[in-house]
Amino acid sequence: MKKKRHEIEDYDEQDTTAWINPSKSLSLRDLGLKLPPAPPTQVISIRLPTYLLNELRAKASAEDIPYQALIKHLLSKSLKRAA
């Protein structure tokens, strides 16, 4: 750990701008970095007019499914039609 900290401090003191080639774009992989995998689902927040949410809830209730599942289904169906 001390070695790594010392290495970081060394880089902090050096001018590394000469190491960067602006004509060659680098990916995270080129830099030895990896993003964590994206989760299979994500929580979002969306504002809907009250009447629309009530209509969605009523339709979902009539079909005996959760209204969030109905929203996902309708969004998916709409995207497939648009493609």
pLDDT in tens, 21-64: 888 888 888 888 888 899 999 999 999 999 999 999 999 999 99
The residue type of 67 is Y
Q: Rounded to whole angstroms, how far apart are CA atoms 16 and 21?
A: 11
pTM metric for this prediction: 0.56
Place of tokens 């701008």: 17
Q: Rounded to whole angstroms, how far apart are CA atoms 64 and 71?
A: 13
Q: In the numeric block, which tokens belong to residue 29?
A: 């992989």
Q: Rounded to whole angstroms, how far apart are CA atoms 57 and 62?
A: 9
The residue type of 48 is L
